[in-house]
Structure 1
Amino acid sequence: MRLILASRSPSRAALLHAGGCEPELIPADVDEDAIRSSLDDAAPADVVAALAVAKARAVRARLSGDAPATVIGCDSMLLLDGELQGKPHTAERVVERWRAQAGKAADLLTGHCVIGPDGREIVETAGTRVFFADAREDEIAAYATSGEPLECAGAFTLEALGGWFIDRIEGDPSSVIGLSLPLVRRALNSFGFPVSAFWAR
């Protein structure tokens, strides 16, 4: 079964690999800022879902018709104090973000769009509550300069260095990493496939 991940995220790819799959990685080329600006009044969950839909559809449109495929598009953002936070991109922004979120709880929202071989779409957002440690200034600075959180939603990872600074979560851990395995399994089931059909053999 052909499975395509519309992402360049190593964390999402690692989740699928750990789950027995060998997805094709085809990053989507979409203007995320333009999509977000067109959704000014949308609920946060709808914003990440719209970005996931745009990514999945963009990749599916590029596929040749020779082999049916299932495409997964995702987008993650942190909802902190009522504001969506994306990737910080710079160490300076990481420090600012962590000063704002240290010792607080926020919701990591991951939008999903799973497009089946027949073109049917499952669109859903997974939300997980994240409780941030009250990290010290020197710890925040060291984490920022490590480079790890620069391209991570919410300026943190759960599965690597950032795990030191997450006190606990409430919800699906895989969705915090970037792709909800339970959600994708349900989507595949709705298309009539057991998840085992996508395991590498």
Structure 2
Amino acid sequence: MTTQSSQHSALFTLTAGYRLLLASGSPRRRQFLSEWGLPFELARPDGAEPLPEPGESPDTYTRRAATAKAHAVAANLLGASATGATQLHSKAIILAADTVVAVDGDILGKPNDPRHALSMLQRLTGRGHEVISAVCLLLPSPVGNASMDAAECPMDTEELVFSDVSRVFFHPWPEDVLRAYVNTGEPHDKAGAYAIQGHGAFLVDKIEGSWSTVVGLPVTQLAHLLLNRGFMQPSTSHT
């Protein structure tokens, strides 16, 4: 695992004694945490992401995928040393997230190749679609009162799972414009074949909902939960 920290003044601080593990390889999710000033460790989950099950809704799938990532990291921690269980309970907050693009109830994952990316963008252009980002938190012994539905997990950890949905509307771009975007290479590892925080920003006419949810992390809900549960607090180092 690699420890990340911010070079800027901290907005929030972790409660003493806790460590934050980000179960994600997403640069933007790392950036969100860095902008908050929170130190965190990268702990990318092993194995392939689960595939959607027949008839599974996009929201249900996104929650399940985020949960699978969090538990994969927890399993790695427990297998790392004989004292892993104690470390997990007393110190580690595991944060995992997953984001999908959905249109007409269909989940659009990452494209297989440029042609697939173009076909996804052609399906999205000139209309609205949903972007769902889900978060799974595996928490040490609870602090304060729960603000969201919680379920007890093995080894006395607590699992909190939530999701947020934003609606994104594309301008009706012609094929040559979409093809030029595909040729930038940006869509190849992006759900729905675009990145609103990158070159793909021009594709979007408007958003109904949270921009951070579209990027990949519903930061308002996450901040509220961590603050309300006592795992972090506003920084007072400069007041």
Report the TM-score when normalising by structure 2.
0.75
Partner of 2:206: 168
Output the CA distance in 2 between the equivalents of 1:183 and 1:87: 25
The number of aligned residues is: 195
- Residue-by-residue CA offset, 1:150-192 (whole Å, 9 max, x unaligned): 1111111111101011111011111111111112113313532
Residue of 12, 21, 45 corresponding to 1:4: 21
Output the CA distance in 2 between the equivalents of 1:130 and 1:59: 31
Structure 2 spans left out of the alignment, 5+ residues = 1-17, 78-83, 142-156
- Residue-by-residue CA offset, 1:24-70 (whole Å, 9 max, x unaligned): 111112332xx335x32332211100000000111122223446111
Superposed displacement of residue 147, structure 1:
1.1
Partner of 1:29: 46
CA contact (8 A) 2:57 2:105 kept: no
Output the CA distance in 1 between the equivalents of 2:180 and 2:40: 33
CA contact (8 A) 1:30 1:54 kept: no
Partner of 1:18: 35
Superposed displacement of residue 81, structure 1:
1.6
Q: Flag the structure with higher helix content.
A: 1
Partner of 2:121: 98
Partner of 2:147: none
Partner of 2:10: none
Output the CA distance in 2 between the equivalents of 1:195 and 1:103: 42
CA contact (8 A) 2:63 2:163 kept: yes
Partner of 1:156: 194
Output the CA distance in 1 between the equivalents of 2:115 and 2:51: 23
Structure possessing the higher radius of gyration over alpha carbons? 2
Which AA in structure 2 matches 1:191? R
Output the CA distance in 1 between the equivalents of 2:191 and 2:93: 25
Instruction: Work out the percentage of aligned pairs sharing the same amino acid.
Output: 31
Q: Does 1:50 align with 2:64?
A: yes
Residue of 149, 159, 163 corresponding to 1:121: 159
Partner of 1:80: 103
Which AA in structure 1 matches 2:47? V
Aligned pair in 2 of structure 1 residues 87, 195: CA closer, same or farther (>3 Å)? farther
Q: Does 1:143 align with 2:143?
A: no
Output the CA distance in 2 between the equivalents of 1:195 and 1:4: 17
Output the CA distance in 1 between the equivalents of 2:208 and 2:120: 21
Superposed displacement of residue 87, structure 1:
0.9
CA contact (8 A) 2:63 2:136 kept: yes
CA contact (8 A) 1:185 1:195 kept: no
Output the CA distance in 2 between the equivalents of 1:120 and 1:190: 15
Where 1:36 maps in the other structure, the secondary structure is coil
Superposed displacement of residue 97, structure 1:
0.6
Output the CA distance in 2 between the equivalents of 1:186 and 1:42: 29
Residue of 29, 53, 74 corresponding to 1:60: 74
Superposed displacement of residue 23, structure 1:
2.3
